[in-house]
Each structure stands twice: as structure tokens, then as C-alpha cells.
Amino acid sequence: MNYSKYPICLLLLSIVVSCTEKASEVKETSEEQPMQLLPFTTLELNDMSGFKKTTDNWQIVGSAYADRNKEQTMTGADGTGVLINLPDDAKKDHLFTDFEHGDIELELDVMMPVNSNSGLYFQGRYEVQLFDSWGKKEPEYSDIGGIYQGDDKEGRKGFEGQAPRVNAAKTPGLWQHFKIIFHAPKFDSNGKKTKNAWFEEVRLNGELLHENLEVTGPTRAAAFTDEKPMGPFMIQGDHGPVAIKNIRYKLYQDKKVSLVGVKMAEYENESKTFPNIDSLTPIRVVTTDSISSLMATGERPQKLLVYTGELSVPEDGDYLFDFKLSQAGGALLIDNDTLISLNGNYNLDDPGFATISLKKGNVPFKLLYNKHNRWARGLKLAVEGPGLQKQSLTAVGSIDFNRGKPAREIMVEVGDEPITQRGFVMHEGKKRTHVISVGMPEGIHFAYDLAFGSLIKAWDGSFLNTTQMWHSRGIEQLAVPAAFNVSVHGDPDFEFLKDDLTVWPDTIPVNVVQKQLGYEFDAQGVPTFSHEINGTVITDRFVPVKTNRGLKRTTTISGEEEIWHKIADGSKIEALPDDTYIISDENYFVDFSGNDNLEPIIRHVNGKDELLVKIDAGEDTINYSIIW
Amino acid sequence: MQISKKIAALVFLINLGSLVSAQDLSEMARKETAYYDIVDVPIPDDVLLEVGGLAFNDKDQLGVSTRRGEVWVIDKPYGKKPVYKRFAHGLHEPLGLNFKDNSFYLSQRGELTRLEDKNGDGKADLYKTVYSWPLSGNYHDYSYGPKFMDNGDMLVTLNLSWIGHGSSLVKWRGWLLKITPEGDMEPIATGLRSPSGFNINAEGDVFYTENQGDWVASGRMTHLEKGTFAGNPEGLRWSGEPNSPLKLKQDEIEKESGLTLYEYAEKVPALRAPAIWFPHTILGISTSDIVYDTTKGKFGPFEGQMFVGDQGHSKIMRVFMEKVNGVYQGATFAFREGFSSGILRMLWGSDDSMFVGMTSRGWSSTGKAPYGLQRLKWTGKMPFEIKSMKALDDGFELEFTKPVNKALASNPATYKLTTFTYNYHYIYGSDIIDREIGMIANAEVAPDGRSVKLTAHGMRLGFIHQLEIPELKATSGELLLHDTGYYTLNEVPGGTLKSPSMSTNASSDKSIVQPKRTVEMPESWENGAEKQLVIGTSPGLKYDVTEVRVKRGTKLELTFNNNDDMLHNLVITEKGKESVDEVGRLALLLGLDGPDNNYVPDTELVLNHTGILQPESSETIYVQIPDTPGEYWIVCTFPGHSSIMRAKLIVE
């Protein structure tokens, strides 16, 4: 949604309110949400045209399948959209993109076969390692997401390598998501390096692996030994098979939006909505070179700050503004047009995004910060533009995202036997309130929604971060899995369906009486959960899979009606030869091989695949494992 | 458990006189130690005992549920080396605990749970859900209990969520629920905001304490019955549910009616005025648990009374309650302060000491420890206390723990009565409003010296009656340990209040001529006044002078500047102490006629006087000083003041 399409509102502040109302009316009738990021450039994988010519080990395929039982074995299926590398002794060259880059933000998905090895080389020089590091306890620089060592040549000590902070690797054969922000080295006019290259951020499967990590020179097996402002992106071809898809990026220049001639007027205001400023006299007007919530004066002030001035815009193009407030109101007007209006009480998680097309040069702006809550302070305005990385227009300290956070995180650790902890747990953006998290000594953990009787998450590594529950009042009250985790569908796991076409309900239907019965620990300290649905009693017990990273579930059903169980859903579910299913999106396997009498079905409903199994009336047991 | 904005209220009341002020706190705690001793129950370093609930099992071991979801069972909790064993873990902030039939019962945030150790290894195996209720996901979704009723059914209370104000985001936040052991639930009462403390008395009646907040002017205790609406309308959101015991709708309650809760309850029958108000900042800031003294005298002289904890002030209040015309009401007194952390739970040990369980995480308390477990033990020494305070239709009857000094106790001036109340509105807290000075007209001491019957003027239904007795001594010579009581007067015996009104703002048609109030300079003073004098006030019922010397026959221009925060006058009386005493006595006898007479009796013993002056006002009178030298007196004859607020006028 581009707010500049809306009718222009007058700059008069007293009219801001009515403009807002209009905007929100439009919002309600439109399902379109404002963009939260400017679009990426996609490297199309319809053919090899985006790459420099290379050997035939590099191909475009429709999908990739890694055999989980064989070393470095991968096959591709006909189609487009996936880049696959299947090297042999003769054909094993690297792959270079046609485009060259300096500063870049890049995202892609990668699939590693068992024990395979490859690498992502920024500018053809600085490597983020690709490796099948699944299950490794202490990752090294040579594991997936590690920044590889540099060569130690001519007496010059190369970069020493950097291990990822955590091992976020998924099991071989699953797609894994990388997000990397890389900055090229900087040079003066004589070509002398003034700043090392650095990785601002490297994330794998959502986990932060590196932050602001400097790299002193090219890493081992780089295509070039020198350092340059620009270079092609390279994928290593000679170490093993790998598949890659969804490559998208933004190239950044070293330019910024800046503030010009800013004045700030400060008003007394206790109202949650904007007052009619025409009728008010400011208590002070000052010239300033920065915008900050800290400029509201007084002890625990309730003030309205109005900034006016110009933005110096470095390039023609679309600019996306991101306005964040901590229990306050605010508005941004660009060129006399209300771009963002948050007139009321808004918090950090309330979106304040808008995009506007701007010309190079100076454009007037006005920013309102209505600090009506005396206890809260916080304002952030950030902007992203064409070839411009997202930057803050507000001063350091204007907002403190860490406010109230403790010096040390509060963790629940697992000892010699399973441990449980009830709490609120987020699942796909929703707070689940009756969740029990279970940590097991084997290092496999899961979260179970007692209200729905459903498994919602599984993970391995550290167990649970309860800082948000147990620090001070614990405003968020969240128990957070302390490691990369797989989210399962989260709907009630068992339902009575009229037939196999009935839509699976995402909450407990009104005609169903579902009762939690609690849980009981056995001699091994493992809990078995029980609940009752319209008289049918269901128990659930989970233990780690012995040989793999996975969770084995045993469910008993005792009832007088036929009932259905939803095992999984995803954009795509595929049956593999060995009674195993691969679930897309979250990317995990379901191994259903332990059940002789039950036959799951894959059905396509409401744009997604579902894996269901029907259980006849009487007593029954289901066994399966999920593996990630 | 919210922080108060109403600092003003504190300052206001402290100025009333003899209340405990900040620098006295430790001194008070020291005094109290002689009678009630606080003893630590040692806690191992690795146990974070943020107490949520306390309950003994059938082996006299103390169960403690914690805010971090554990249940500890403490063996030998009375000794110096208690043994801690973790009975359960992983629970969702259980803020209550009980024990019955070999099981601990507790409220987690989202359910009532029974914990049973089936294999006898000292750890619960079975975590049985008795009944679960929805949660909004808000941090303020606290749940408390259970308490057992005689038939084995359980009561739990559910806190409102907090979204800048209290809110019942899901069923049944803000309600008292009854749940059978089989898991059938019945909603009983609503209007609750932060109901962390509740209990059932010997008659089976349920009381809960409330914390100051939106719709809650101050800490209070309310009697809950089926269908009671206790005051915060958020829970009424669910009154349309088929099993709701009341049909009152949330929008039927005006946000700012300008009325008090007592007055509003006369309009809305379901609304129940509190049995006890705990004036905010005076008797706590966040009331918590309620326990009844069931020790049969082993804990001191307060058998059958209630003790109420306070989280923010780390103290315990005492409540004497009575039932008048079927309505619960009574008085509350300070009892014991100086605990180590914020008090959430209290429970009697088998030795009749009181276990006090504490936490201050998120809501800081006077006791600085983040959590704690202590015991309060009676030393066996009898404190001199107001044991009970009962309402009469024209006064109060006090009973003391020790015989009183009859001379002091029979002097009405020994007692100071002030009435006040609070607004009932959606705003967080309330100022003290409609404060008025009452007076004790007569005090009749029983022959045994253990009780006094007070006849009071200025009692008001629906008001809190602050009675201060700072000078009263026992026959042993000691002063009261706690000299102030707060009685919440909803009813009087017989139903008709017979205490005369003291309202100064009630307009009177009577125009009484008081020739001795000489505000005009006599025409005979051709050369004007020979001397000017200004007398002001000091806090604590004092003039700012204790003695004034004037030459005989002086033409004096005397200005009385009432810079105090209450009503005063200035009366010059005849020579001799007996004259001023008599004027004070006669002033009290004016009764209802007092206001119209500026509380000045018509007697030869009065030479000159001012009118009754509002705070921050002054009046000048012209006084012809007598020709006879001697010790004359200056006195304030406002009820209750004349014995203290005096200065000598020495004519030379």
C-alpha cells in the first residue's frame, strides 16, 4: 500500500485526526497490508542465464531430493526454480553470478545431502561455509554458517575463521534458510583499504550465527586473492552436491537520507490523541540536528514534540518508512501529506509502515511524537530506499528495545531426568496459554498445548528461556524454546470429521466438549498427557528418537466414535518410499513406519496439504516420529 | 499490587496527627518485637522460594508453592534446620496451595490442579487437572486458591488482566468460582480486581481483600455471596452467560457518578459495600492474605479476629469484624510490621505461630528481600491494644487488652474522631474525600477498666471512622501499642444512627450574636491598638506559642492565623486552669449547636474569641486585656482540641 496515493491532507495539525480516520477507513476495506520491507531482487532460476558460464555440474531442476541413507547423494527432478550442483571428477567448477556486488543483503534456501560440503563466497572471496552439520554439539568454523579460515600465505596470517554461535543445522535433505548482510571492504581514492569487509548479520533458520564480524582478507579457496569494492557472488562447486533456491538480494550503496534544518517545538499534552496545536503555545522551540524521544523535558513528562525540517533524499525512488513508538502516539508527514498516523496509544509491535515515492533533493517533513504516557519513552523512525540500507533517522537512545531486560537470561536446564515447565508459548504469531514444555536429558525437547491436546513445537539443544516469565513482572510471560525449533501445525490434533473432505478446525468446535485431564509421570520421569474429547480419551507420550534428531510420539485413543488425527500440514507434503513423509515450510520428516493398521492420507484443503489418519472406534495406538 | 499515584492522600492523612510516619517505622517494629517476634525459616541458597501458596500436609510438613512453578515440602519447618524437598515442578505460577486427602491442590494460572504422590517417593507423579479455565495471555492473569468449603467444594479467584486498566479479557477473569472435586464449575461473584487474599469464616461466609486500583479507591475487604458484585465492573462482561448468578451489565455502572461505593450500592442492589476499608498508605498499599485467629489464645488476645497481610508494606493488619443488621463491618488496626519481603501468604503452624510467605518480584516491598519465609510468634507478653471496636447507634464501644487508666479513658478529649470516605469511579485509586472532624462527647469506662463506651458526634454511615487515642494509658502506665483504629460503618445497631451531625458546611439559619467575638475595633480606642500580636498554629494541635506576656490594660489587636489543615478557633479564658478546663467542657456540651456558636460556649469564663476558622484563614479580634494580672489562657474549643491546644496568656 502506498500512502501517497491517498488524497492529500493539509498540513494543519488539527486536521491530522480526520486524515487518519480516512486512512483507516480505506485500510479496513482493503486486505492489503502496508509493505514492511522494500522488495528484493530475485535471481530467477528458470535457466542458468543469471550466472557466468560454467561446467555442467550446475543445473536447473524442479526439486531436489537428498537420500538420507547415502553419503553425498542427491537427485533432481525436471522443472525449474531449484539450482543443483552434482559434481564429478570431471565437472566441478564453481558458479559465479553475472551481477557483482559490494554491500549486499542476501537470502536463500539451501539443501545439504548427507555429509556434503559447499560454500557461499561473497565477492567470490569471503566464505560462509555450507556443510551437513546436523546434530553436531560444538560447531566449528568449518560447520554450516561458519566463516571459513583464510590462507596463511607468504608469511601473512590469514583470517582465523569464526564458528557460528549456535548450530542451527537441520537434518540433511531439508531446506534451510540463510539471511546474510555483507559489507564489502572500503578503499580510499588511492585504492588503499580503509576498512575490512564485515558480515553485519548471518542467520540460519532464524538463528543468529554472527553479528558485525570483520574479515581481514579472503578466506581459503577464494576465487581471488586481492580485495576489491565489487565482485561476483560465488557458490563452491568442487566439494560436494548442494541445492539452492529462492535467491533474492538487495544491493546497497554507501548513501544515506539525512536531516536538514530541523526545529523542534515542545508542547504540554496529556491527551492520548493529538491536541489542536493551533490553539497551543509551545513551551520551547529549538533547532536540532537529531530527533529523539529524550528531548521531552521534565521528570516523567507528558509532552508533544513536533519536529519540522527537511529530509535530504539521495536518489529518486520508493522510500519505506518504519515508525515505532513505545506507548505513545505519533505521525509522519512528508511534503505536507500524512504518511503515517498513529494517533493514540501505540506500542513497539504496532506496525507503522508506509512507502512513498520521492525525488532526489530536499523534501519537507513533519514528525509528531505524543509522549502521553509518563512512564514510557521511545520513538524510532527508520527509512529504507532504492539501494539504501535501512537506517535510523532518530538518535541513538531515542528508543531502548532492551529496557527492563535483565543482565542475565533466566534459563531452565535439564538434569538427569525429564523436566517440565508450563507457560505461555508463541506459535505462529499467537500466544498459547496452556502450554507445557518438556525437556529431556537426551537434548530433545518439545512443547505441547494442553488446551488443544496438540504438539506445537520440537527442538534440540538448550531447553527453555523463561526470562520473560520470571524477570520482574514478566510482562510478556513467555517461555521461549532456547534453540532453533520446528513448529507443528498447532490445530487441535484430534477431531471428529464428517468425512475426509471436512475442513480441519483451527480451534475446538463449539459442539465439542474437550477436557484437560492433566498428566502423570512414569518411573522414567516421562509425562503422559491425557485429555477427553466428547468422551473419547486420548493419551500422549513423547520420547526422543534414539538414533536421529527427532521425537517419537505414542498416542492411545479410547472412544466409541471414529476420530481423525492431523499429523501435519504444509504447503506441500510428499510421501517418500519408506512410509516417511516430508513436510514443507517447516521442513521436517514424519516417519510413520511403525503402524501396520493405519494408513495416513494426504489431502489438499484451503491451499495447503494435510497429513491425516482416521482411527476407528474402540481402542487404538498410533506411533510415529518427527525428524528435523 | 499497583504503584499508587495518590501520594497526596498519604501526606493528607499523616498530617492528621499521631499516625506512624516514615522515621518511626523501625521504632514501631522494635516496639512490636517485645510482643510478637519475627523468626526466619532458613531457605537453602539454591531454592528460589518466591512464595505463592502455603499449606501443611498431614505430616505437619509445610508445602510451599512458588511463583516459579515449584512445590516444596519442608520437613521440620519450626526448627533451625528445616529440610526442603521438591515435591512438584513446572507449574504455571501457582498462587495458592491447599491440602486434602493425601493431595495438594493449587491454582495455576489456567487451572485448578490436584497433585498426588502415588508411589510415595516424596514427589508428585499425578498432576490432575480438576478444572481448567481460559487465559488471555496477559501477565496479570493471576489465579488464586483453592479454599475448601465444608462440603469439599473449592473456591478460586481470578485476577483481572492489565491493559492500562483492569480488564476481563476472557471468562471468568474478575470472578470468584466454585469448583467441585469432580470438576463442575459455578461462577459465584464478580467485581473482583486483584483478589489475591480470600478466606471463609466459621459461618461459611467468604471474604476477599482487594488492592487499590481502577474502581478501587483503597485496599478493602468485601463479603462475597452468590451474585455479589464487589465493585470493578470488568467481570460483568460475562454476566450474560447462562450460569452467571447476576444479570447486571457492565455499562450500567457509571464511570464517574460522583458517589461513593456505599452510596452507589444503594442504587445497585448487587453492589456490595466493603466490610472493611484499609486506608491506602496508612494500613498497607496492597492487601493480600486473610487468616483467622483460630489459636484459642495461643497467639495472644485476638481469638477469632482476622489478620490481613500487605505485600507492599511487608506488614500485617488486624481486623475485628462484627455483623450488624446482617451486614459485616468492623475495625482494622496496625498489628506488626518489619517483615523481610512482600507478604502474600499467612498460615498457622501446629505450634500456633504464623508462617508468613513472601515475594517482592515485580512489586517491590518495604522488606527488601526478593522472597522470604518467616514465622511470627507471640512472646507471651500482653500488648496494650484496642482489642475490639464495636459500633453503637450513637458511638463506639471499645474493649482493651488491659485495664485502662480511668481518668484518661473517661476524658472525651482523649479520643479524636475523624470521618472520611473515597470516590467510586473508574480512575485508579481516589483521594480521601469529605473528611470531617467528629468528636467524642462522652466516655464511660466499665468498672473493670477493660472497656469504654464512647458517645460520638459526627458518625456517618458509609464512612471510615478514624479513632485516635494517642494519650491513653493502661493502669500499668504504658501507651497503646497501636493507638488508631479505622471502623467502616455500614450499619448501626437498631438501624437508626443517633450520633448528631458535625457538618460545618451545613447551612444554618440561626444567626447567633456573639459579642465577645470582637472583630471590630471598639470606637473607644481613639488612638487604635497599643499592641499587635499574631498567633499561628503548629502541627499536632498546637498554637505556635506556649506563652504570651502582655501588660495589664493593653488594647491588643490579636490576629489568629489558622495555618493548620483543620478547623480551629482561639478563645481567651479567665484566670486559672480550672477556667480553661471548664470552657472546654462546656464547649463539648454545645453538641449540635457547636458549629453555630463557633464551638464557643456562652459563659463568663470566656473573655474574647475568634470564629471557627477554616484552614488557611485568619481573623483579627480586638482584646481589652484585663487590669488584673495573672495566668489567663488561650485555647481552641473545637471538639477534642481543648485539652491539648492551649497557650498561657500572662497578664503582667
Residue-wise pLDDT tens digits, A414-472: 999 999 999 999 999 999 999 999 999 999 999 999 999 999 999 988 899 999 999 98
Chain B partners within 8 Å of A436 (Cβ): 90
Residues 476-505 of A with CB under 8 A from B: 476-477
Residues 461-480 of A with CB under 8 A from B: 466, 469-470, 472-477
In chain B, which residues have pLDDT < 50? 1-25, 505-508
Residue B361 has what pLDDT? 93
CB of B108 within 8 Å of a chain A CB? The answer is: yes
Residue with cell 488561650: B634
**CA A118 distance to own-chain centroid:** 24
d(CA A194, CA A190): 10
Task: Kindly provide the ipTM of the predicted complex, given to two decimals.
Answer: 0.78
Choose among B108, B127, B135: nearest Cβ to A519: B127
| Residue A16: pLDDT band with limits 50, 70, 90 | very low
Residue A68 has what pLDDT? 75
Give CA angle at B416 (B585, B443), nearest 5°: 55
Q: Do A473 and B139 touch (CB under 8 A)?
A: yes
> Is the pLDDT higher at B160 or at A404?
B160
Q: Do A420 and B89 touch (CB under 8 A)?
A: yes
Residue A152 has what pLDDT? 65
pLDDT at A610 over 90: yes
Residue B272 has what pLDDT? 98
Q: How many CB atoms lie within 10 A of CB A606?
A: 8
- Which of B406, B479, B417, B394 lies closest to B446 in space, CA to CA? B406
Classify strands A207-215 and A74-85 as parallel, antiparallel or unpaired: unpaired
Chain B partners within 8 Å of A515 (Cβ): 129, 132, 183
Sign of CA dihedral B357, B363, B366, B367: positive
Choose among A419, A431, A450: nearest Cβ to B137: A431
Lowest-confidence pick of A148-162, A362-376, A437-451, B280-294: A148-162
DSSP B202-237: TTS-EEEEE-SBBTB-SEEEEEE-TT-B-S-GGGGG
Residue in A with minimal Cα distance to B136: A433
Give CA angle at A254 (A249, A259), nearest 5°: 115
d(CA B574, CA B633): 7
B326-350 residue pLDDT tens: 999 999 999 999 999 999 999 999 9
Q: Where are the alpha helices (DSSP H) in B317-425?
A: 406-409
| Residue A189: pLDDT band with limits 50, 70, 90 | very high
pLDDT at A15 over 70: no
pLDDT at A20 over 70: no
- Which of B384, B285, B260 lies closest to B13 in space, CA to CA? B285
Q: Grid coordinates representing A286?
A: 529549538
* Burial of B566 from C-beta contacts in 10 A (0-12 / 13-18 / 19+): buried
Classify strands B531-535 and B555-562 as parallel, antiparallel or unpaired: parallel
Find out whether the peptide bond into A175 is cis, omega within 30 degrees of 0.
Answer: no
Global pTM? 0.74
Sign of CA dihedral A275, A278, A281, A285: positive
- Which of B255, B270, B230 lies closest to B425 in space, CA to CA? B255
Residues 109-168 of B with CB under 8 A from A: 109-111, 113-114, 123-129, 132, 134-139, 141, 164
- Which of A390, A367, A386, A370 lies closest to A310 in space, CA to CA? A367
Check if the beta carbon of residue A103 is closer than 8 Å to that of residue A267: no
Q: b/e map of A543-577 (b: 16 or more CB within 10 Å)?
A: bbeeebbbbbbebebebeeebbbbbbbbeebeeee
Q: What average pLDDT score do residues A77-105 get?
A: 95
Residue A368 has what pLDDT? 97
d(CA A306, CA A346): 17
Q: Where are the alpha helices (DSSP H) in B34-164?
A: none
Residues 258-317 of B with CB under 8 A from A: none
Average model confidence (pLDDT) across chain A: 89
Strand order in the sheet with B143-148: B143-148, B154-158, B175-179, B185-190
CB of B173 within 8 Å of a chain A CB? The answer is: no
> Is the pLDDT higher at A68 or at B177?
B177
B525-562 residue pLDDT tens: 988 999 999 999 987 778 999 999 999 999 999 999 98
Residue with cell 475487604: B221
Q: b/e map of A149-186 (b: 16 or more CB within 10 Å)?
A: bbbeeeeeebbebbbbebbbbbbbbbbbbbbbbbbbbe
Residue A155 has what pLDDT? 55
Choose among A345, A424, A519: nearest Cβ to B137: A424
Residue with cell 478546663: B581
Check if the beta carbon of residue B637 is closer than 8 Å to that of residue B595: no
Residue in B with minimal Cα distance to A516: B129
**CA B454 distance to own-chain centroid:** 20
Give CA angle at A219 (A214, A224), nearest 5°: 115
CB of B184 within 8 Å of a chain A CB? The answer is: no
* Burial of A91 from C-beta contacts in 10 A (0-12 / 13-18 / 19+): middle
Query: Number of Cβ pairs closer than 8 Å across A and B?
Result: 75
Q: Position A370: which residue type?
A: N
d(CA A177, CA A107): 7
**CA A597 distance to own-chain centroid:** 39
Q: Is residue B509 classed as helix, strand or coil in its secondary structure? A: coil
Residue with cell 515505532: A324
d(CA B552, CA B630): 9
> Is the pLDDT higher at B523 or at A577?
B523
| Residue A8: pLDDT band with limits 50, 70, 90 | very low
> Is the pLDDT higher at A519 or at B11?
A519
d(CA B410, CA B393): 19
pLDDT at A545 over 60: yes
d(CA A227, CA A177): 28
How near does any CA of chain B get to the CA of A371, in Å?
15
CB of A439 within 8 Å of a chain B CB? The answer is: no
Give the end-to-end CA distance of chain B in Å, rounded to a whole number.
61
Check if the beta carbon of residue A425 is closer than 8 Å to that of residue A406: no
- Which of B357, B338, B299 lies closest to B74 in space, CA to CA? B357
Q: Do A434 and B135 touch (CB under 8 A)?
A: yes
CA atoms within 13 A on the CB side of B541: 19
Residue with cell 470468584: B176
Q: b/e map of B582-610 (b: 16 or more CB within 10 Å)?
A: bbbbbbbebeeebbbbbbbbeeebbbbbb
Q: Grid coordinates representing B371?
A: 522472597
Q: Do A474 and B362 touch (CB under 8 A)?
A: yes
